[in-house]
Amino acid sequence: MTANESSNQIQLPDNFVFGVATAAYQIEGAASEDGRTASIWDTFSHTPGKVLNGDTGDVACDHYHRVSSDLDLIQQLNVGAYRFSFSWSRLFPTAGGQVNQAGLDFYDRLIDGCLERNLQPFATLYHWDLPQYLYDNGGWESKETALAFANYAKFIADHFGDRLHTVVTFNEPWCSSILSYLFGVHAPGLKDLPKTLSVIHGQHIAHGLAIQAMRASKSDLPLGIVLNAQAVYPIGAQTNGAAVRHHDFHNGLFFEPLFHGRYPEQAVKALAPLLPKTFMDDLPTIAQPLDFWGLNYYTPTWVTDAASADELYPATAEVQRDDVTRTDIGWEVKADCLTELLKRLYADYSLPPCYITENGAAYNHELVEGGVDDLPRQEYLEQHIKAVAAAISEGIDVKGYFAWSLMDNFEWAEGYSQRFGLVHVDYSTQQRTVKRSGHWYADLCQSHRGLSPLSP
The yes-or-no answer on residue 358 being catalytic is yes
Check pLDDT > 60 for residue 456.
no
Per-residue pLDDT, averaged over 163-175, amounts to 98
- How much of the chain exceeds pLDDT 70, in percent? 97
Phi, psi of 120 (to 5 degrees): -75, 125
Measured distance CA(172)–CA(64) in Å, rounded:
24
The yes-or-no answer on residue 382 being catalytic is no
* pLDDT tens, residue by residue, 100-124: 999 999 999 999 999 999 999 999 9
Check pLDDT > 90 for residue 452.
no
Measured distance CA(370)–CA(131) in Å, rounded:
39
Strand, helix or coil at 230?
coil
Domain ranges of the chain: 3-449
Q: Out of 28, 141, 256, 358, which one is annotated catalytic?
A: 358
* pLDDT tens, residue by residue, 242-285: 999 999 999 999 999 999 999 999 999 999 999 999 899 999 99
Domain 3-449 has CATH 3.40.50.1100: no
pTM (2 d.p.): 0.97
* pLDDT tens, residue by residue, 298-322: 999 999 999 987 899 999 999 999 9
Q: Out of 28, 141, 172, 382, which one is annotated catalytic?
A: 172
**Residue 237's pLDDT is what?**
75
CA atoms within 13 A on the CB side of 286: 23
State the chain's mean pLDDT as an integer.
96
HEC string of 128-175 equals CCCEHHHHHCCHHHCHHHHHHHHHHHHHHHHHHCCCCCEEEEEECCCH
Phi, psi of 56 (to 5 degrees): -135, 170
Measured distance CA(115)–CA(340) in Å, rounded:
35
* pLDDT tens, residue by residue, 375-411: 999 999 999 999 999 999 999 999 999 999 999 999 9
**Residue 450's pLDDT is what?**
72
Per-residue pLDDT, averaged over 178-194, amounts to 98
Q: Write the Ramachandran bin of 136: left for phi over 0, alpha for psi from -120 to 50, otherwise beta.
A: alpha
